Amino acid sequence: MPTAMDAFHLFTIAGIPVRATLGFLLLIGYYAYSLRAGGLPAIGGWLIAVVVSFLVHEFGHALVARRFRLSPQVYLHGWGGLCAHERAARDRDDALIIIAGPLAGLALAAVVAIVRGAFAGPIHQSPFLYFLIDSLWFINFYWSLVNLLPLFPLDGGQLFRLGLLRIVKPVPKAERIVHVVAIAICAVGLVYAVTIQSILLGILTVALAFQNVRYLGQGSPIAVRARSELVDQLLADAIKALSAGDPQEARRLAYQARDERNVAADQVQRAFELLAVTSAELEDWSEALDWAKRANATPAIDEVRVAALVGLGRLEEARHAAAEAKLGAQARARIEARTGQSLNG
């Protein structure tokens, strides 16, 4: 997976950074070379359509991930695009993030189809517009459908895996089925690539097949949400550290618990709660507010959220949040004592 270390920043949209790797530039170069016979209209139309389509797809993922406060980042790389983000708390959240990419692409395809029908005359008069509109529709319609195939690690394969993990036990059996199905689809895809003489499709299907063969032996790179005794111990130690007056150590342990490979949904939520509370104890108000928004609503989390808003100088929001949460007199007194600010309007 690309990282910020091997990618360069392009721009930021809605607080979501977009980065590209050298591989993406090579991909663009390959497309430009392949379309050279069509001239600048074909090259320009296709390349713009490719970049726009990748961004729409990845921002479909990223905007939902941002809704869950998972700090998404978009990468454009040699195989296309990727939305990297922090681990979601629940399978349901993962499923919503995953499906949002293909749905965004299909939505764009529908809009393009309407535009193409409404302005058919002007579009056909301009070679550039014709290539652009036709390419936008083709990429977003067909690639979105291909992306929904149960082919891991494409979006459809990830959804297939989430479903199997719920109905097939034990977990290793479900994982094996996911990767065997993916290898079978790759075999069909390779035959099709040879039939239409597509070098890029052939390389892609072979690469995906090798990935899944490797995962059969090594296991899936995506963690399974399973209860971990280590995480339970880390959370218990974090609570002890907090009770002993060491919020810094408690926060370190909560981070470690959250970052373990296999973490159950309730353990993730407990880690979020501890991160919110310890950040507030350390008066790291921005961090406290971020974790409080991701944790389940409890009286302790309500108090952290209000305290963080006060600490950030957002008094009106804090007063509204305190009223909405029906914060008690003792909690209000603790917040006012800690921040030196009154919650009375």
pLDDT in tens, 106-155: 999 999 999 998 888 888 888 899 999 999 999 999 999 999 999 999 99
Type of residue numbered 75: Y
pLDDT digits (tens, 9 = 90+) for 256-280: 998 887 788 888 889 999 999 999 9
Average pLDDT rounded to a whole number, residues 61-90? 89
CA–CA gap between residue 180 and residue 182 (Å, rounded):
5
Going along the chain, which residue ranges are E strands? 8-13, 16-20, 73-77, 80-84
CA distance 168 to 276: 35
CATH class of 229-339: mainly alpha
Residues 6+ apart with CB under 8 A from 225: 90, 91, 262, 263, 264, 265
Q: Which residue has the higher pLDDT, 341 or 68?
A: 68
Element (H, E) at 324: helix 315-324
| For residues 320-341, average pLDDT | 81
- Range(s) of the chain covered by CATH 1.25.40.10: 229-339
Q: What is the mean pLDDT of the chain?
A: 89
Confidence at 95, pLDDT banded by 50, 70, 90: very high
| pLDDT tops 70 at residue 291 | yes
Provide the whole-model pTM: 0.79
301 token code pair = 């989390």
If you search the block for the tokens 């979105």, which residue do you land on?
Answer: 144
Q: How many CB atoms lie within 10 A of CB 212?
A: 23
CB 285 within 8 A of CB 315: no
State the Cα–Cα distance between residues 257 and 263, nearest whole angstrom.
8
299 prior amide bond cis, ω within 30: no
pLDDT in tens, 28-54: 888 888 888 888 888 888 999 999 999
For residue 244, the model assigns a pLDDT of 93
Q: What is the mean pLDDT of residues 295-309?
A: 88
What distance in Å separates the CA atoms of residue 186 and residue 203, rounded to the nearest whole number?
11
- Tens digits of residue pLDDT in 178-222: 999 999 999 999 999 999 988 888 999 999 999 999 998 887 777
Q: Is the pLDDT of residue 311 over 60?
A: yes
> Whose CA is closest to 336, among 326, 325, 322?
322
Q: Measured between alpha carbons, how far is residue 226 from residues 75, 260, 261 in Å?
A: 29, 11, 9
Nearest to 152 by CA among 216, 199, 195: 216
Q: What percent of the chain is predicted at pLDDT more than 70?
A: 98
